[in-house]
C-alpha cells in the first residue's frame, strides 16, 4: 500500500518543497502540494490523503493549528500527520504532539532515511512526546494559540483601518473627479438644451438625415453623461455622509404623479403601462420630497429598463400603519436572481452582463453604472427607513418580475432637520 499512497505535503519554502516532492515522487508516492495552511486543510478534506507532512512555520496558520483542525474532522482523525520542521527543541516537539501529531522529523532532511520513515508512519508508527512535562507543553501551546489569535485580531484591526482610509480616499477622489467633470459639462449640457429648442437647428435636422443622426447621437450622449456625473455626485454625497434631509409634510401621491409624468413619453414608446393602484392615499408625512422623488425615479426607471415592451409597472402605497408607510414598485420584467438580491443595493453592483447592458440593441435594458439603487438605499436610510426587493428569480423568458419596497417611518424627524447618513 505504501508505494501507491497519497501524501499531502504542506510547505511554503520552495527549496524544501522541491526536494521532498522529488524524493517522495521517486519513491512512488502520489504527492499533493499546498503552500499555505488553509489550502492544505482544504486539500486534506477533499482528497483524504494517506499521510500528511506539514511544516510548522507557515504564513497563515501554524503546522500545529493545521493538525488541531484536521484532527477535529472524523475522516482525518486517524490519518498520520507528521511535522517536518527545523525546530529541533524538545519543547517544540512536545507542543506538536499535544496538538495531535503522529510524528516529528527535523530538518535538514536525510533523503534516504526519509523514505524509510514514511513507510513506518504509513504502517502505523506513532511517536510520543519526549518531555516529562506534557502539562507545561500543553500550557505553552494554549498560550501560543491565544497569542496568535491576538496578533491576528490586531492585524485585522489595522487592515480594517487601512481599508476605511483607502475607501475615504477613493470617495474623495470620485467626488473631486465628478465635480471637475461637471463644470465643463454644465456648459455643454446648456448648449445641448439650446440646440434641442432652436427652431433653426430643428429645421436643419428635419431636412438633413445625416445632421439629424449626428445631433441626436450627440444630444443623447450628453444627456447620458450628465445623468452619470450627477449620479456619481449624489452617491458620493450619500457615501460621505453629506445627505441633508429637508423634511416637510409630503404628499406621496404628488411625488408619485411627478415621477410618472417624467416617464410619459418613454412609457408610450415602449408600450408599458404605469398603474397607480391606490384608491386612498396616506396623510402627508414628514420626508424630503425631492430626495424621495429621486429614489422613486431610480426605481421606476429601472422597472422600465428591465421590463420588456408591453409590460406593466404598478406603484402601490398600502394603507399606512401607525409607524410606517410603504411604497411598492412592481414590474413584470426579467426579475433578479436570489444571489444578486442582497448585493444590488451596493455601489457599482450590476447584476447582468455589463457588456450586454452598454451595447444592448434590445428594446429594454441599457447601460447603467450600478449606482441607482445605492442612491435609493442612501436616501431611504437617511430617512431611517428600509428598502428591499422581492423577486422569484431571474428569467428573461418567464418574466417573474421584481417588486421593490420602500418602508419609511412616519416619525422621520423634526421638520427642517438635517440628517447625516453613511452608506
Ligand atoms: P443600473 O444603473 O445598472 O441599473 P442599479 O443600482 O439601479 O444600477 O441596479 C443594480 C442592478 O440591479 C442592475 O444592474 C440590474 O441588474 C438590477 N436591477 C435593478 N432594478 C431591477 C429591476 N426592476 N428588474 C431587474 N433587475 C433590476
* Each residue's pLDDT tens digit, 354-395: 444 333 334 445 556 788 898 899 899 989 999 999 999 999
> Is the beta carbon of 378 within 6 A of some atom in ligand 1?
no
Fold category of 2-129 in CATH: Rossmann fold (3.40.50)
Mean pLDDT across the stretch 24-30? Answer: 94
How high is the mean pLDDT of the chain?
87
> Is the beta carbon of 334 within 6 A of some atom in ligand 1?
yes
Mean pLDDT across the stretch 156-171? Answer: 90
Expressed in angstroms and rounded, the spacing between residue 20 Cα and the centre of ligand 1 is: 53
Distance from first CA to last CA of the chain, Å, rounded? 59
CATH class held by domain 248-409: alpha beta
Percent of the chain at pLDDT > 90 equals: 55
Q: Which residues contact 373 (CB under 8 A, 6 or more apart)?
A: 298, 302, 344, 345, 349, 387
For residue 391, what is the DSSP state?
E
> Is the beta carbon of 272 within 6 A of some atom in ligand 1?
no
pLDDT over threshold 80, residue 133: no
Mean pLDDT across the stretch 180-192? Answer: 89
Spatial distance between the Cα atoms of 273 and 343, rounded to a whole number of angstroms: 28
C-alpha 308, offset from chain centre: 28
* Residue 47 binned pLDDT confidence (cut-offs 50, 70, 90): very high
Mean pLDDT across the stretch 332-350? Answer: 91
Mean pLDDT across the stretch 296-315? Answer: 94
Expressed in angstroms and rounded, the spacing between residue 160 Cα and the centre of ligand 1 is: 29
Residue 48: other Cβ atoms inside 10 A: 13
More confident of the two residues 411 and 315? 315
Residue with CA closest to ligand 1 atom 7: 372
* pLDDT value for 1: 47
Dihedral class, residue 405 (left if φ above 0, else alpha if ψ from -120 to 50, else beta): beta
pLDDT over threshold 80, residue 417: no
* Each residue's pLDDT tens digit, 209-251: 998 899 889 988 898 888 888 878 877 777 776 777 888 999 9
- Residue spans of the domains in the chain: they are 2-129, 148-239, 248-409
Q: Which residues of 318-339 are buried (b: 16+ CB within 10 A; e: fewer)?
A: eebeeebbbbbbbbbbbbbeee
> Is the beta carbon of 44 within 6 A of some atom in ligand 1?
no
Output the nine-digit C-alpha cell for 47. Answer: 482528497
pLDDT over threshold 50, residue 56: yes
Q: What φ, ψ does residue 6 adopt, rounded to 5°?
A: -100, 130
> Is the beta carbon of 103 within 6 A of some atom in ligand 1?
no
Most distant CA pair in the chain: distance in Å? Answer: 101
pLDDT over threshold 70, residue 283: yes
Residue with CA closest to ligand 1 atom 21: 302
pLDDT over threshold 90, residue 69: yes
pLDDT over threshold 50, residue 2: no
More confident of the two residues 316 and 412? 316
CATH class held by domain 148-239: mainly alpha
* Residue 421 binned pLDDT confidence (cut-offs 50, 70, 90): very low
Amino acid at each position: 500500500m505504501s508505494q501507491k499512497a497519497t501524501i499531502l505535503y504542506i510547505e511554503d519554502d520552495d527549496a524544501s518543497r522541491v526536494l521532498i516532492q522529488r524524493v517522495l515522487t521517486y519513491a512512488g508516492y502520489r504527492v499533493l502540494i499546498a503552500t499555505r495552511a488553509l489550502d492544505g486543510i482544504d486539500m486534506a478534506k477533499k482528497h483524504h490523503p494517506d499521510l500528511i507532512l506539514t511544516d510548522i512555520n507557515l504564513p497563515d496558520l501554524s503546522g500545529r493549528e493545521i493538525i488541531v483542525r484536521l484532527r477535529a474532522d472524523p475522516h482525518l482523525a486517524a490519518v498520520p500527520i507528521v511535522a517536518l520542521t527545523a525546530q529541533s527543541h524538545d519543547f517544540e516537539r512536545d507542543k506538536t504532539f499535544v496538538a495531535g501529531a503522529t510524528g516529528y522529523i527535523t530538518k535538514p532532511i536525510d533523503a534516504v532515511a526519509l523514505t524509510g520513515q514514511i513507510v513506518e508512519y504509513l504502517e502505523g508508527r506513532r511517536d510520543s512526546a519526549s518531555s516529562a512535562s506534557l502539562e507545561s507543553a500543553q500550557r505553552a501551546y494554549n498560550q501560543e494559540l491565544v497569542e496568535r489569535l491576538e496578533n491576528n485580531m490586531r492585524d485585522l484591526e489595522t487592515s480594517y483601518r487601512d481599508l476605511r482610509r483607502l475607501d475615504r480616499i477613493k470617495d474623495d477622489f470620485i467626488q473631486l473627479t465628478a465635480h471637475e467633470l461637471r463644470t465643463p459639462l454644465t456648459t455643454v449640457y446648456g448648449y445641448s438644451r439650446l440646440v434641442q429648442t432652436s427652431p433653426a437647428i430643428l429645421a436643419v435636422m428635419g431636412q438633413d438625415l445625416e445632421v439629424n443622426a449626428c445631433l441626436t447621437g450627440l444630444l443623447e450622449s450628453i444627456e447620458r453623461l450628465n445623468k452619470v456625473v450627477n449620479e456619481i455626485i449624489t452617491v458620493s454625497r450619500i457615501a460621505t455622509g453629506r445627505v441633508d434631509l429637508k423634511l416637510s409634510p409630503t404628499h406621496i401621491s404628488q411625488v408619485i404623479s411627478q415621477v410618472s409624468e417624467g416617464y410619459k413619453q418613454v412609457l408610450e414608446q415602449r408600450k408599458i403601462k404605469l398603474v397607480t393602484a391606490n384608491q386612498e392615499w396616506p396623510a402627508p408625512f414628514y420626508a424630503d420630497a425631492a430626495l424621495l422623488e429621486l429614489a422613486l425615479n431610480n426605481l421606476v426607471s429601472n422597472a422600465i429598463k428591465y421590463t420588456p415592451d408591453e409590460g406593466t409597472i404598478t406603484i402601490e402605497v398600502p394603507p399606512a400603519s401607525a409607524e410606517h408607510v410603504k411604497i411598492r414598485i412592481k414590474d413584470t420584467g426579467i426579475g433578479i436572481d436570489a444571489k444578486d438580491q442582497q448585493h444590488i443595493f451596493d455601489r457599482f453592483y450590476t447584476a447582468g452582463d455589463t457588456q450586454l447592458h452598454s451595447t444592448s440593441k434590445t428594446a429594454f435594458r441599457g447601460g447603467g453604472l450600478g449606482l441607482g439603487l445605492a442612491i435609493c438605499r442612501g436616501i431611504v436610510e437617511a430617512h431611517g427607513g428600509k428598502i428591499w426587493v422581492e423577486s422569484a428569480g431571474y428569467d428573461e423568458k418567464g418574466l417573474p418580475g421584481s417588486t421593490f419596497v420602500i418602508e419609511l417611518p412616519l416619525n422621520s424627524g423634526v421638520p427642517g432637520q438635517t440628517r447625516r447618513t453613511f452608506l
